[in-house]
Each structure stands twice: as C-alpha cells, then as structure tokens.
Amino acid sequence: MHKTIAVLAGDGIGPEITAEGLKVLDTVAGKYSHTFTCTHAPFGAGAYFSHGSSFPQETIETCDKADAIIKGPVGLSVDKMAHIPLEERPEKAAILPLRERYDTFANYRPIVLPPELHCFSPLKREVIGQGIDIMMIRELVGGIYFGEKVEGAQVENAYAKDVCVYNRGEVARIAHVAFKEAMARNKQLVNVHKANILATSRFWNRVVEEVKKEYPQVRYSSILVDNAAFQLVKNPTQFNGVMLLENMQGDILTDQAGGILGSLGLMPSACMGPLKGYVEPAHGSAPDIAGKNIANPYSMIGSVAFMLEKCFGLREEAADIWNALADVLGRGYRTADLAAAGTPQNMVLSTREFGDKVVEIIEKK
C-alpha cells in the first residue's frame, strides 16, 4: 500500500513524540512492505510565530493532498500564548478549523487499563477489577463548539452567548459510528446526555433511539452526564463497551477518563471524517518538559496505530503496534510520568528508548 501523510508535529513535546510515532510507522512499513510518504507542515502556536498563522495556507494544502494527517499537541507556555491574539490562538484558529475542514465528526478515545496496570490509576485496585476497556465516541464538529457565539462588549447590559445546535443528520451519523463500534466489541452502548435540561439532548436521544432500531443486538442504555461523571469514578468497568457523547460533554468526560487511567499520556485518539481522518494524542503540549527526551510517546504511537486501522484499514499492522505498546508496559518499563516512587531506574525509559522498545518488539514478532 502507498499512502501520503501530512505530519503536523505541533508545539512543546509534539516534535519529539511525533518522531517516535514515525519511527514505529517506518518499522511497520518495512515489515509489511508499505510506503508512507510523510510531509511535515507547520501547525499550532509555533506556526503562528514563524508563519503568521497557526494553520498556514501551505499546511492546509499539504493536508488537502494527504490521505491522512498525524497531528501533535499544540500550545506554548501561558507567557508565550499571551502574545497571540485570541482569534489567532491555535484552539480557535487551527484545531477547530482542521476539524471543520475535514468534517472529522467521529472522535474515538479509548480508555484502556488492564488489571495488571491498575497501579497507574488513582482509583483503588478493587475498583479497577477486571480492567477498564471503554471506547468513548465523541461527536467532534457540532454542538456548542460550533454554534453562534456572541460576546456582548457593552459595559451596560453586558452578556455572552454560545448556541448549541444539532440536526438529525449530525446525530444519526455519530450514532451509527457508535452502534457499529459496539457491534465490533461487547455489544454494549451507553448514551450520555443532559435531557433533563437541554433540548439538544432530548433531540439527540430521540435520534439515537431511532438509529438503535437498526442494531437490535446492542444492549443499550442512556445516562445523564453528571451521573456518568460520578459513576465513571465509582464503578468505571460498568461502562466497558462504547460510550456515546456529544461534543462538549465528550470533551469533559474523556479528560476525566484520562484521570482514571492516571495519565493522558495513555490516550491516543482518532478523528474521522467522510473523506479522511486525523489522529492525535488527547493530551496537551507540556511545554515544561519539552525537548528533555522524557515525554511519554505512548499516545502518539497509539495514534499512529489508530491511523493505520481507521484511515487505511490496516488492522494487522495496527494490532502489532497495540500489542507492542502493551508489551513494553507489561514488561514493567515506564516513562517518567508513569514511574512510581519504587520503579528501578533501569526501567524508566526516555522518549526515544520507549520508541526503540516498541520497534524492537514489532521487528521480532
């Protein structure tokens, strides 16, 4: 297979974890005789300073031409971000436009913690039980993120407004993604909403429940978002399967799930649209540890696996990477963010060493 990939390494730890992701991609390409042509392009706060835009025209063109996009985290220190006008900040001027341009409505965020890695979690061992294995599916291009925004500037009568809108098509397509994912897993789907208050949630539920008729084998339930937040901490394994969330509620609960795993460093993600997708770690750019070769590349390497699987349909290749990632942690290796006080020094790996271990395992298998 030959594919072209746009690589937006981003800010902070972005370039160093992206390098590990590409190293692993290269290994898989060699092993399975694929060619992946990667083109790097500027994106994020660094791009604003070097190119005057956090999503420069040349990057748009590179992404347009690519079959898939690998995106690193963006954002610099609070000090540096203060020099970027609000309208030009990467959240507003790069990430949302990227999502909108490729209509990447389906955001997959897997929350996986096998029982032997319970020590990463702040939750008690008995709460982790047989392990957590949830696929959170978040709608990514609708709702309050993309609705009308008003910031009433007048001092008198000052106000602000964010409009939340969902139409039938937008809800139905993400519901189909979630039900299909449930069918491929344990056939359990929990739909998250705030229907006791929000009209958009009541509408969301109606459409989801229509779509549900096409998937009679899926065990379906729905839960209010506040209760879901509570239950995720109290008894997360009840959600093993798929959780379906709208954009804003999904933003919040996926971070909470990262907290349950103990680190957002363990959360790769894929953002899929009708024509192409992009993959990204769900964590930030951690400018405080950038360039020190200590960042955890797990989320980025997992995101590369996601790209192979979701964008190119290369399941075996992806499984190779997932297995290698699990193997590295299973053998007791840790990056600094995961190392507990008692971890022997020789088991704490740098960013590059972690990537090397993954490569070594893939090559041997």
Q: Which does 360 bind (CB under 5 to 8 A by kind): ligand IPM, Mn ion, none?
A: none
Determine, following the binding rule CB under 6 A, whether residue 95 of this chain makes contact with ligand IPM.
yes
Instruction: Choose the binding region for Mn ion from 11-19, 53-61, 248-256, 290-298 (rule: CB under 5 A).
Output: 248-256
Q: Which of residues 112 and 245 has its CB atom nearest to ligand IPM in the complex?
A: 245
SS3 assignment, position 38: strand
DSSP character string of 306-317: HIIIIIT--HHH
Q: Which of residues 251 and 309 has its CB atom nearest to Mn ion in the complex?
A: 251
CB of residue 21 vs ligand IPM: minimum separation in angstroms? 17
Q: Which of residues 20 and 251 has its CB atom nearest to Mn ion in the complex?
A: 251
- Return d(Cα 63, Cα 47) in angstroms, integer: 15
Q: Binding-site residue total for ligand IPM (CB under 6 A)?
A: 3
- Return d(Cα 206, Cα 34) in angstroms, integer: 44
CB 239, CB 31: distance < 8 Å: no
CB of residue 102 vs ligand IPM: minimum separation in angstroms? 15
Determine, following the binding rule CB under 6 A, whether residue 133 of this chain makes contact with ligand IPM.
no
Q: Which does 356 bind (CB under 5 to 8 A by kind): Mn ion, ligand IPM, none?
A: none
Q: Which does 91 bind (CB under 5 to 8 A by kind): Mn ion, ligand IPM, none?
A: ligand IPM
Q: Which of residues 91 and 327 has its CB atom nearest to ligand IPM in the complex?
A: 91
Q: Which of residues 118 and 276 has its CB atom nearest to ligand IPM in the complex?
A: 276
Q: How buried is 159 (Cβ within 10 angstroms: 0-12 exposed, 13-18 middle, 19+ buried)?
A: exposed
**Out of 170, 251, 320, 337, which residue is the one contacting Mn ion (CB under 5 A)?**
251
> Nearest Cα to 326, choosing from 118, 181, 112, 134?
112
Q: Which residue is nearest to Mn ion (CB)?
A: 251
Determine, following the binding rule CB under 6 A, whether residue 251 of this chain makes contact with ligand IPM.
yes
Helices of type H across the chain? 14-32, 45-51, 57-65, 78-81, 90, 96-101, 125-128, 168-184, 199-212, 225-234, 247-261, 298-306, 315-330, 351-364
CB of residue 84 vs Mn ion: minimum separation in angstroms? 19
Pairing mode, strands 106-113 and 268-272: antiparallel
Instruction: Choose the binding region for Mn ion from 10-18, 23-31, 93-101, 244-252 (rule: CB under 5 A).
Output: 244-252
Determine, following the binding rule CB under 6 A, whether residue 91 of this chain makes contact with ligand IPM.
yes
Q: How buried is 103 (Cβ within 10 angstroms: 0-12 exposed, 13-18 middle, 19+ buried)?
A: middle
- Distances in Å between the Cα of 332 and the Cα atoms of 37, 114, 346 are 34, 13, 10
Tokens coding 110 = 């897997």
CB of residue 109 vs ligand IPM: minimum separation in angstroms? 8
Q: Which of residues 73 and 355 has its CB atom nearest to Mn ion in the complex?
A: 73
Q: What is the per-residue binding string for ligand IPM in 34-63, x denoting contact by CB under 6 A?
A: ------------------------------
DSSP state of 58: H
> For residue 316, what are the contacts with CB-CB under 8 A and spacing of at least 6?
32
> Nearest Cα to 202, choosing from 183, 176, 222?
222
Q: Binding-site residue total for Mn ion (CB under 5 A)?
A: 1
Q: Which does 95 bind (CB under 5 to 8 A by kind): ligand IPM, Mn ion, none?
A: ligand IPM
Q: Which does 16 bind (CB under 5 to 8 A by kind): Mn ion, ligand IPM, none?
A: none
Give the catalytic positions in this structure: 145, 194, 226, 251, 255
CB 254, CB 283: distance < 8 Å: no
Chain contacts with ligand IPM (rule: CB under 6 A) = 91, 95, 251
The binding site for Mn ion (CB under 5 A) comprises 251
